[in-house]
Amino acid sequence: MTYQPQGWVLLLLSKSNGRFLYRIFAQWSEGDYWRLSSGSDDLQQLIDADTHWKLPQSSGSLYVLPKNAEGNIAGYSKSVLKQIIQAGKEQGMSIEKVLIHRH
């Protein structure tokens, strides 16, 4: 399945055992609908497709991410993202927002 969100954030989840995973928090419809991807442990799979990034996930799905929508999370989805980050911290995980253009 292919997903192309209207806004998205790349998250780096790090566990205390040293394992890590990159997951995409994606939103549609001005924040009313959101989805958290299954994740990828390798950003080398990231494809630069001109105006979009393409990042395959461990589930087999593909996220097509508009470059100009990175970090654009609003409305209900923004509060859900904050809850996800807080819940991860409470479970001993480090969850950071990562900007793709830095990689």
* 66-77 average pLDDT score: 93
Q: What is the pLDDT of residues 26-50, one digit of tens each?
A: 999 876 899 999 999 989 999 999 9
- The pLDDT of residue 27: 96
- The pLDDT of residue 103: 45
- The pLDDT of residue 19: 85
- The pLDDT of residue 79: 94
- The pLDDT of residue 38: 96
- The pLDDT of residue 82: 95
91 vs 24, higher pLDDT: 24
Percent over 70 (pLDDT), the chain: 95
Tell me the CA end-to-end span of the chain in Å, nearest whole number: 25
Give the 3-state DSSP-derived string for 14-45, with helices as H, strands as E and coil as C: ECCCCCEEEEEEEEEHHHCEEEECCCECCHHH
